[in-house]
Each structure stands twice: as structure tokens, then as C-alpha cells.
Amino acid sequence: MPRASHHQLRSAFRALLASDRCYHTASVFDPMSARIAADLDFEVGILGGSVASLQVLGAPDFALITLSEFVEQAARIGRVARLPVIADADHGYGNALNVMRTVVELERAGVAALTIEDTLLPAQFGRKSTDLISVEEGVGKIRAALEARIDPELAIIARTHAGVVDSAEAIRRAQAYQAAGADGICLVGVKDFAHLEQIADGLEVPLMLVTYGNPQLRDNARLARLGVRIVVNGHGAYFAAIKATYDCLREQRGIEPGDLSATELTHKYTLPEDYIRWAEQFMDVKE
């Protein structure tokens, strides 16, 4: 894709949402990966919150990265991006007023779209790490995000976790966020097509689906018919980079190639057991 302004990239993303096709995201995490994705003709990229946490902090995805740190990484990508990039803005880094600040900063960084989720983040004392905020608070965040944006082409996508509530609640949340004016609905935790059909029925805005490679949701034509326009399969490119770095450094030290997978390496070097223990010890967080 030739060089384009941020506004033009946002318009290109809007065209994807308005199409009748289903597009798969490239996981981009720095300027080089963004350039590679564009050169390989990916239509859209995504900067994941979990990937940003790994790239910036070397920490697991426990909402530890700050807005400023995330925006700095998004801006590095935005300076060179030749494809639209979606920013996974987690919970908007706080309440509805914080969401407004998040939108302002990410818009200036050059992203084409951002997702705001209704997960209760960061984890609260004595609560489950997958608890959701109330629908009313979620609606307030979406309305605040819409109020804060300057470029009307910037897409505000409401994200909800359909895997931790029953179908009726997932439907209620998706429809409420649509009514609040969200440009799209992002669904996480959808089990299969029957589950997706239940939630999609009655929705008119485009859908974004985070599948993490779920084999039950691999029919692109069927996804497109149900209104799914964007699919996130995960962030394999980043994890492949971790594996390649590990193997290259072992070779430089004269050590035989390792047999740890990218997932095992990520687990080893982000120390998740420490964070889980601290969360249980200091916050009584329930898994």
C-alpha cells in the first residue's frame, strides 16, 4: 500500500467494515513488522495489548502497561504504517474520562481504529480476573470515546467477552454498545457458529472476532455472511520472533538449538507465576 495519511488509512479501514468480506489481521508490534505486513498486502494490522506488554515490559498481559507506554509504541508504528492499524486499548486505561484521554492520544498516534473492552481491569481485590463491568458503565465508555474523537473516520469498536457470560448477557451487551453508537462490536470467547449466530442476530454494525485460531470458526464465507469483517487469530508473528531470538542467541553462544516452544519461552521469561502469586497474595484475586 502506498504512503497515506492517517485519515486516509482510517477511511481504508472503514471501507473494510463496509465490505461484504472477512479480513484477517496481521499482528504488528513495531515499525518493521508494520512495514512487512503492508508489503505482504495485509489489509489491516493490530497492535495487541498483550503483545505491547511483552514488547515494552517483558510482562504478561495483566494490565500492567500504562497508557503513555502503549501510545508510544502505537506512535512508532503510526509513523511508518501503510496499512490501517487497530489498537487494542484494553479498558481505556480507567473510567470514561480516562477513555476520552485514551482516544485523544491514540488518534494522535495514527491508529485507524481502537477497541474498548468491558472487562474489569485492572483486576480488583477479591474479584475474578475475568469479571466484567456493568453494561451501563460500558455504554458510558463508548459514548465518551465517541465524544473524544476528532477525526470521524476513526473507528470506535466496543469489545465484550462472550465466553464468560451466558448468551443472553452477551447479546444484551452487544446490542447496548451498538445502540450507544459503536462503529463495530468485537467479540471474544465465541465458542462456535451457533454461539456466534445467537449474538449476531439483530446486530447491524460490523463484527470483529478474536478467535485465537478456534477451529470451530474457520469458515470465512460463513463468518462474512454473519457480519464478521475482521478476524484476529492471535499474534503468532510476535511469538515466532521470540523463538527466533532465543535460537539465534543460543547459536551465538555455541549452545545446541533449544526445544522450547514460543509459548514455553514466553512463559519462562515473563514470570507469570510471580504475578499470579502477587495477585493472590496482595489482592485476593480469584481465578
What pLDDT, in 10s, does the model give residues 158-184?
999 999 999 999 999 999 999 999 999
Of all residues in the chain, what percent carry a pLDDT higher than 90? 87
pLDDT-derived band at 256, boundaries 50, 70, 90: confident
pLDDT at 213: 86
The residue with cell 498481559 is 61
> Roughly what angle, to the nearest 10 degrees, separates helices 262-270 and 236-252?
80
Q: Indicate the domain borders of the chain.
A: 6-235
Q: Is residue 198 pLDDT above 80, yes or no? A: yes
pLDDT at 144: 98
Over residues 59-83, mean pLDDT? 94
Beta bridge mates, 119: 132
- The rounded distance, in Å, linking the Cα atoms of 115 and 113 is 7
Residues 6+ apart with CB under 8 A from 145: 92, 99, 100, 102, 103, 114, 116, 156
Q: Is residue 1 pLDDT above 80, yes or no? A: no
CATH, range 6-235: 3.20.20.60
pTM: 0.95
Over residues 227-238, mean pLDDT? 96
Q: Is residue 146 pLDDT above 90, yes or no? A: yes
